[in-house]
Amino acid sequence: MRAAARGASVALTLLGLLVAGYLLGRTLALLMSQDPDAFDVCSAVFGTGCDKTLLSATSWVLGIPLAGWGVVYYGVLLALFLMAAALGDEFAPLALTAALLASLAGLAGSIVLAALLVWGWAPFCPLCMVVHGINLLLAVALKVHLGRTWREVAGDLALAAGSLFRKPADRPPLWRWRATGLATVALTALALYEGVFILSERWLCESRGVFSPHKLLAAYADTPETELPAGPNDARRGPEQAPVEIVVFSSFHCPACRQFSREMGVLMNQYPGAVSLVFRHFPLDGACNPIARRGLDEGGACETAWAAVAAQRQGKFWEFHDTLFKAHFPPGPEALQTIAREIGLDIERFNAERVSEEVRAAVRQDTELGARLRLEETPAIFINKRRLPGLGARSIEVIIKDALKNGAVQHGAG
């Protein structure tokens, strides 16, 4: 029975070290986040990932991830087993007692952490629950392996503690060797902790300058949904019932908006039928947008927005949009007439409507909505009602891929 328990103790420790090592490696990889779709054991085996748990602030204690503490813990147990085997029967009982006490401490921590996961106080992590199960079985196996009652264990501890306060001459003959063995294990634990700490700090420092899809997705998921009224007159590109709807508050005088339009053209070709893009006007021009009075004034941007709405009333908003950003940026006073001719607008109607109250009201409706949303810059991007916490095609594509992977249902803007 004790021989089987000894084998089980070693096997469980090695298994725990393997799982903790994987979770530590996964945590460090997530900090760099090279590929959010990379193979994940947790998702493959259990159907749900552990990434949210690994990235949560509660998963770090004293500068290293909890998975790193698992590596230290199992490493200490292995060191105790090796010392017990190397030093023989004179040290083995003390080493196994120390291993049992360490396993009880690990089990107590596992009970607390498992309760947090089960009660929903921390993101659920099935592979972490496997570790907690290993710790329970390990404590039982070590108790059987030691082959002593709890009273005997307590007596051994009292005897060992009493030796610390005796004169050197009164201590047991092998006391110094036993103390040396335990000190060696303690130094092993310290070395493991320092190694994990240095590794974690290095990856943390490197990750601060690296684009993190996982952090982007976490921030996006935490962003509350925003009601964006929809209407039949919206300037929309792509199918209305697409699974991913992007609403952008933009300005025709904004260089970043021009770059966004180029990137969206590529993405919509890359994901045909999956993305719907809605354009809303937010020119940073005091002529139609009060927010521009705060010092962000793009002179002439309101005139261009009114011209775009006038082109839309002739069914050619996107032709106006694409031609302006492609060949007439930034647009001057003559550019609006040139674009109108190039895309085949009725010039007389175009000139009449772009100064009409109906057209100005359409732009005003968008700028007022942007003001209610506390927008201060362009482009301001909303994907399925949530504000995108970042800019650039890479950020947008990460959200699109995640939405499609998780079977997003088109939210609409209403």
Domain-wise residue ranges, the chain: 2-210, 221-405
CA pair distance 225, 228, nearest whole angstrom: 9
* Long-range own/partner contacts, residues 163-166 (CB < 8 A, 24 or more apart): none
Mean pLDDT, residues 153-178 taken together: 59
* Least confidently predicted of 52-66, 245-259, 357-371: 52-66
Q: CATH classification of 2-210, choosing from 3.30.60, 1.20.5, 1.20.1440, 1.10.1200?
A: 1.20.1440
Task: Please report which confidence band the pLDDT of residue 34 belongs to, taking 50, 70 and 90 as the band edges.
Answer: very low
* 221-405 topology per CATH: Glutaredoxin (3.40.30)
Task: Please report which confidence band the pLDDT of residue 398 belongs to, taking 50, 70 and 90 as the band edges.
Answer: confident
Residue-averaged pLDDT of the chain = 82
Q: Which residues of 105-132 are buried (b: 16+ CB within 10 A; e: fewer)?
A: ebbebbeebbebbeeeebbbbbbbbbbb
Model-level pTM greater than 0.85? no
Q: Which residue has the higher pLDDT, 387 or 211?
A: 387
Task: Please report which confidence band the pLDDT of residue 413 belongs to, taking 50, 70 and 90 as the band edges.
Answer: very low
Mean pLDDT, residues 349-365 taken together: 95
CA pair distance 144, 148, nearest whole angstrom: 8
**pLDDT surpasses 60 at 284:** yes
Beta-carbon contacts of residue 412 (< 8 Å; ≥ 6 apart): 230, 240, 245
The pLDDT tens digits for 91-131 are 677 788 888 888 899 899 999 988 888 887 777 888 889 99
